[in-house]
Chains A and B, each alone.
Chain A
């Protein structure tokens, strides 16, 4: 179905290109869900990077794979399976006491075990799906071009709930993420917040899996936020910048894939990685220069 669009090719007339992009219902749905997921992933991702919980996000995305697969086997929407499996896993590791001190050693071991188990389950489902390699492929690398109208509604509801929750907890969460001991003394429920946050991550992961699949999840959850934090140390600006980068990667990835006939996930991850790399190198060089001049200034003073 993309081939026909690709034949028409992009022009320098952006309006015409946009009309081309939006002429199919599947592309409208893809852009809508892509936008929802980019906003959610960028915002939640800011705190994932700040708390050093990338590994937890990765585990949740892997848990989503057997979750989505079992939902399909039961005749349910894969989105429902993703949401249920991810939230259950988040409550599980939160309840077992992990994720309290962000990025702790015990958490790593527990998450690693769950990760292996869910991949094992995934292997089982690959066998059960023997008739349809396409379905497996979709879970691993995203189903953005096959989003149904119902998936769009579910994604929108989940994102609104999730962003609303994040807006309520954002300040205490920021406090607890940076300085858990002081936050606890100031009356912030640090442990409860860490569990609430994992559930929010679970919802964001379940949404993002639809766009980039379980294997490419970091492109939307970690890379934009990490790049944003390299660019600014202002918390709310960093959060907004992460959302913006995430949106740009998703839109650009969808557009380029549409006209090129190569996979969406490849382009989104490539844009995300390239941007992160450029910013990392540029900011690193700038900081080194600043440190050098700052040090000499201090020597003079």
Chain B
């Protein structure tokens, strides 16, 4: 599966050239050149407000670039691309939301289509069953989404993102509202989808530690600029100090966790305990 070649031979899963986004006469980031190869597990890191979610919205085609180009699997981005599955940043669904989880997954398949759902629908139902099985959500898929726990909702949303045959999974802080156990199991699930399904993963994270063992590439956004590379290349004192333009220290604990400490301002997004 992982060997499935992209349509244009060596087309990158994600590619930005001289890209920039201006919001309210201020560039969030600009002059960004970035490549992510198909099948990679990439983490997008950076302080709050640096433009991590903005980058996701740009690659989803929801927010247009102010300059440069951005393409996904060799094609310029557009909304409603079946190849991209998206999990937005959120806390949880309203407990009163009386719609079954399986219906939510189904909407990922045909929710953008007009008209009543008529005719033979067994192929769609099978596909929904398949992804529910893949994410291990079969047991609670018939319950209302609002009654499920945060971890269960996250699995359902991953199923929804994958159901249309996505080759790229885009997740905005999927681990943020979860306890440690669920952080680990959701991270492991995303890694499995990446490795076994050959799905490219772009995951915005607040804290890199739960996913550090799985990450192939780190995209670090700060001060309107972006650096990218392997975790060891990017998460080190010299690289981050250069990016921030101020001394930053990267500490490694004995159990392999990474803590980033700023000198002038606290860089609070890594290594906080849960």
How far is A233 from B147 in the complex, measured between Cα atoms in Å? 11
Is A174 a contact of B111 with CB atoms below 8 Å? yes
B107 contacts A185, CB within 8 Å?
no
Residues of A within 8 A of B143 (CB): 233
Binds A, one of B94-102, B209-217, B222-230: B94-102
| Listed stretches A12-20, A54-62, A78-86, A165-173; interface member | A165-173
Give the most central of B87, B100, B112, B116: most A CB within 10 Å. Answer: B112
Residue B17 at the A interface, CB < 8 A? no
Are A238 and B116 also in contact (CB < 8 A) when A187-B79, A187-B80 are? no
Q: Kindly report which residue of chain B lies nearest to residue A283, judged by CB atoms.
A: B98
Contact between chains at B99 and A167 (CB < 8 Å): no
Question: Which secondary structure dominates chain A's binding surface?
Answer: helix
- A183-B112, A185-B86, A186-B112 known; A178-B107 Cβ under 8 A: yes
Report whether B112 and A187 are in contact in the complex, using a CB–CB cutoff of 8 Å: yes
Separation of A266 and B140 alpha carbons in the complex (Å): 41
Task: Render A34-56 as a binary contact track against B, CB cut-off 8 A, 1 for contact.
Answer: 00000000000000001000000
| Max count, chain B CB within 10 A of own CB: residue among A178, A233, A287 | A233
A167 near B115 with CB under 8 A, answer yes
From known contacts A185-B62, A185-B86, infer whether A234 and B113 are also in contact, taking CB-CB under 8 Å: no
Rounded to whole Å, the gap between the CB of A283 and the closest CB of chain B is 10
Q: Of all chain A residues, which has the CB nearest B113?
A: A171
Residue of A nearest to B100 (CB): A233
Q: Are A171 and B114 in contact (CB under 8 A)?
A: yes
Q: With an 8 A cutoff between CB atoms, is A274 at the interface? A: no
Contact call B100/A182, Cβ cutoff below 8 A? no
B88:A168 contact, CB within 8 angstroms: no
A179 interfacial by beta-carbon distance below 8 Å: yes
Query: What secondary structure prevails in chain B residues at the interface with A?
Result: loop
* Chain A residues near B110 (CB-CB < 8 A): 171
Question: Is B60 interfacial (CB 8 A cutoff)?
Answer: yes
Please determine whether B111 and A175 come into contact, CB atoms closer than 8 angstroms: yes
Q: Does B178 sit at the interface, judged by CB under 8 A? A: no
The answer to whether A6 has its CB under 8 Å from any CB of chain B is: no
User: Does the CB pair B160–A182 fall under 8 Å?
Assistant: yes
Cβ proximity bits A274-295 to B, threshold 8 Å, 1 near / 0 not: 0000000000000100000000
A233 touches B144 (CB 8 A): yes
Q: Is B119 an interface residue (CB 8 A)?
A: no
**Closest A-chain residue to B80, C-beta based?**
A187
Q: Is the C-beta of A149 less than 8 angstroms from some C-beta in chain B?
A: no
Q: Do B99 and A186 have beta carbons less than 8 Å apart?
A: no
Q: Which residue of the partner chain A has the closest CB to B103? A: A235
The answer to whether A184 and B107 touch across the interface, beta carbons within 8 angstroms, is no
A143 at the interface (CB under 8 A from B): no
Residue from the list A183, A233, A287 in contact with B111, Cβ < 8 A: A183
Q: Tell me whether A175 and B112 are in contact in the complex, defined as CB-CB below 8 angstroms, given that A182-B86, A184-B62 are known contacts.
A: yes
How many residues does chain A have at the interface if contact means C-beta atoms less than 8 Å apart?
A: 28
Chain A contacts for B93, CB-based, 8 A: 178
Among A168, A188, A233, A235, the residue within 8 A (CB) of B112 is A188
Question: Known: A229-B98, A230-B98. Contact between A182 and B116, CB under 8 A?
Answer: no
Q: Assuming A230-B98, A234-B103, is B111 touching A184 (CB within 8 A)?
A: no
B111 to chain A, nearest CB (A): 3
Q: How far is the CB of B10 from chain A (nearest CB, A)?
A: 26
B117 within 8 A of A: yes
Q: Report Cα–Cα, A186/B113, bound state, in Å.
A: 10
Contact with A233, one of B61, B90, B98, B160 (Cβ below 8 angstroms): B98
Closest residue of chain B to A176 (Cβ to Cβ) is: B111
**Interface contact B114-A186, CB-CB below 8 Å:** no
Q: Which residue of A lies closest to B117 (CB)?
A: A171
Q: B86–A171 contact, CB under 8 A?
A: no
Asked, given contacts A184-B79, A185-B86, whether A178 binds B99 with beta carbons under 8 Å apart, the answer is yes
Q: Which residues in A have their C-beta under 8 angstroms from that of B116?
A: 167, 170-171
Q: Residues 153-197 of chain B: 1 if any A CB is under 8 Å from the residue's CB, otherwise 0? A: 000010011001000000000000000000000000000000000
A169 to B88, Cβ gap below 8 A? Answer: no
Q: How close is B231's CB to chain A, nearest CB, in angstroms?
A: 28
Given contacts A171-B114, A185-B80, 4 further A-B contacts (CB under 8 A): A178-B93, A185-B61, A185-B79, A233-B143
8 contacts between A and B (CB under 8 A): A50-B98, A170-B116, A171-B111, A186-B80, A186-B86, A186-B112, A230-B98, A236-B117
On B, residues with C-beta under 8 Å from A are 60-62, 79-80, 84, 86-88, 90, 93, 97-100, 103-104, 107-108, 110-117, 143-145, 147, 157, 160-161, 164
| 3 closest A-B pairs by CB | A187-B80, A175-B111, A181-B88
